């Protein structure tokens, strides 16, 4: 009975996540080479955005970002994301795409202190 209750809970949790989030993948040939995850709520948040190193600089990151934002066209005034400030390539990519750093702060994750930048891109 506990296993059934657990399965039902997981199905409901997954269904809710799928309703509140957009998951996208980039495929090259037969391989998933990148993904993006947008979370929609009172604000739009790009919570994950990744392209495998061997597939970078081919436009997949930009395509995932553009397609995700097109999905929410007219629904939000801005999109937000967080990026590790040590990820200079990532920060430069997002700045090139119209994001600006709003503030930076320290965040402890998995016992490691990260310096994060909160970035915002106006959509209207």
For the domain with range 1-37+47-75, which CATH number is right: 3.65.10.10, 3.20.20.70, 3.40.630.30, 3.40.50.150? 3.40.630.30
CATH 3.40.630.30 residue ranges for the chain: 1-37+47-75
pLDDT at 19 over 90: no
- Give 49-88 pLDDT, tens digit per residue: 999 999 999 999 999 999 999 999 999 999 999 999 999 9
For the domain with range 77-124, which CATH number is right: 1.10.3470, 3.30.70, 3.30.379, 3.90.930? 3.30.70
pTM over 0.95: no
The 3-state DSSP composition of the chain as helix, strand, coil percent (nearest 5) reads 35, 45, 20
Beta bridge partners of 95: none
What element of type H or E holds 91? helix 88-96
Q: What is the mean pLDDT of residues 90-97?
A: 97
- The torsion angles phi and psi of 117, rounded to 5 degrees, stand at -115, 125
- Give the number of C-alpha atoms closer than 13 A to the C-alpha of residue 8, restricted to the C-beta side: 5
Other CB atoms within 10 Å distance of the CB of residue 77: 10
């Amino acid at each position: 009975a506990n296993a059934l209750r657990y399965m039902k809970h997981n199905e409901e949790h997954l269904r809710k996540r799928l309703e509140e989030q957009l998951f996208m993948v980039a495929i090259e040939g037969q391989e998933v080479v990148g993904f993006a995850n947008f979370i929609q709520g009172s604000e739009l948040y790009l919570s994950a955005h990744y392209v495998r190193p061997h597939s970078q600089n081919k436009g997949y990151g930009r395509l995932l970002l553009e397609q995700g934002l097109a999905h929410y066209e007219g629904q939000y005034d801005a999109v937000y994301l967080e990026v590790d400030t040590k990820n200079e390539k990532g920060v430069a990519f997002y700045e090139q795409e119209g994001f600006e750093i709003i503030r930076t702060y320290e965040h402890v994750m998995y016992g490691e202190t990260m310096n994060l930048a909160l970035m915002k891109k106006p959509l209207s």
